[in-house]
Amino acid sequence: MRNLPWYGYLIIALLIFGLFYFFYYKPKNEELNTLREERMAVEREVQRAKAQKRQLEKLKAELKKLNMQLEELELIIPEKKEIDAILRRIQQLASDSRLTIIKFAPKGEIEQEYYLEWPISMKLNGNYHNLAIFFDHLSRFSRLFNVEDITISALRDQTEINTISVDCVAKTYIFKEKLPEESEKEKKRG
């Protein structure tokens, strides 16, 4: 090897460099590039997962808020009639307002799209001031009430506490879940 010309050493060095490049450096470089691409793909996936987690947390917070609103609304528009509780509560409100309930007659429900309207016909005796107090108390009742068809007439035999007679309809509401409509095939079968 000592007798090789200078370019022979150059050829041997190039040959060793070529072998090193093709058999060691190039495969390792390709492996490194593959690992980089995989790492970038994993980082993108992690970023996407973090974004989804943030979105999930927002949705959970919104769901919690909506559940709280639903609980509040269920107090206003419950899912069942509760006739006895309403009667007792209205009697208590009338008594607190110094009114006398002459008639309390629940009527049949009127079906709406998402709720049932439940009118209750009432006849009360008292005076204007006490009637206003009763309506005020009724408006603060946890359950939703609308008072309609109010007819006020003077009593024939008036006293200091009883000067008027009031006929009215108090409407309350009952929530109903809308059932999924039957498909045409199920209707034909039934």
Nearest 5 degrees, angle CA 65-CA 70-CA 76?
135
125 — pLDDT class (breaks 50, 70, 90): very high
135 pLDDT above the threshold of 70: yes
- The answer on pLDDT for 6 being more than 90 is no
In the predicted model, what is the mean pLDDT of residues 174-189?
A: 55
56-65, 92-101, 133-142: segment of lowest average pLDDT: 133-142
Q: How confident is the model at residue 41 (pLDDT cuts 50, 70, 90)?
A: very high
Residue with tokens 């979105």: 55
Can you tell me the mean pLDDT for 33-58?
93
Decide if 110 contacts 146 (C-beta within 8 A).
no
Question: What pLDDT shows up at residue 183?
Answer: 46
**Interatomic CA distance for residues 75 and 77, integer angstroms:** 6
Q: Find how far residue 86's CA is from the centre of its chain.
A: 26
